[in-house]
Amino acid sequence: MWRKRTFSELSAETFNRKGKLPLVLVLHNIRSQYNVGAILRTADAAGVEKVIISGYTPKPEQSGVKKTALRGLEGINWVMSETIIDELQSLKKQGYVIYGLEQCHGGVAYHKQIYDFPAVLIVGEEVSGIEDELLTLCDHVIEIPMFGKAHSLNVSVATGVILYHLLQQFGR
């Protein structure tokens, strides 16, 4: 009754999809190579336009990132940034709307936010989140409501939740 699709079938389906999600994903000060790899794999799966890696976030060529990302590194457009503030200001001038994924006073539940594209999504360090200097550049701050005793999700899981919600909002 059920038959798994082969890698060839999956590759053909992916090749036939048109365009990218008009989203720049910023990974700033993510500590774990495995989180970075998982996020890059998900970003590739969601068709993200570009990923900017900044701060002390591990580079994609590091072993833990490669291991977790699998083939996701082959299809993702990523760059390292030494000047993330300048890059975010430039993107804003180009018409990008900047969203920060963070638990903040005044933040909006991700599923209640109306998103504008092209967009930037900033995700930050696993424990302390997005630095205040980057938060000041955000046009909107979104958060994932928590209903258990844990106050947050793993950064790679949280990023996946938001990326697939953005795909839905964009109409894919």
Q: What share of the chain is helix, strand, coil (3-state, %, to 5)?
A: 40, 20, 40
pLDDT at position 4: 81
pLDDT at position 15: 56
> Taking Cα atoms as reference points, which of 55, 67, 71, 65 lies closest to residue 124?
55
In this predicted model, what pLDDT tens digit does every residue of 40-91 receive, in sequence order? Answer: 999 999 999 999 999 999 999 988 998 988 877 888 899 999 999 999 999 9
In this predicted model, what pLDDT tens digit does every residue of 75-134 receive, in sequence order? Answer: 889 999 999 999 999 999 999 999 999 999 999 999 999 999 999 999 999 999 999 999
pLDDT at position 143: 97
For residue 48, give the H/E element and its range: strand 48-54
pLDDT at position 9: 79
- The rounded distance, in Å, linking the Cα atoms of 133 and 94 is 20
pLDDT at position 73: 83
CA atoms within 13 A on the CB side of 10: 7
pLDDT at position 31: 96
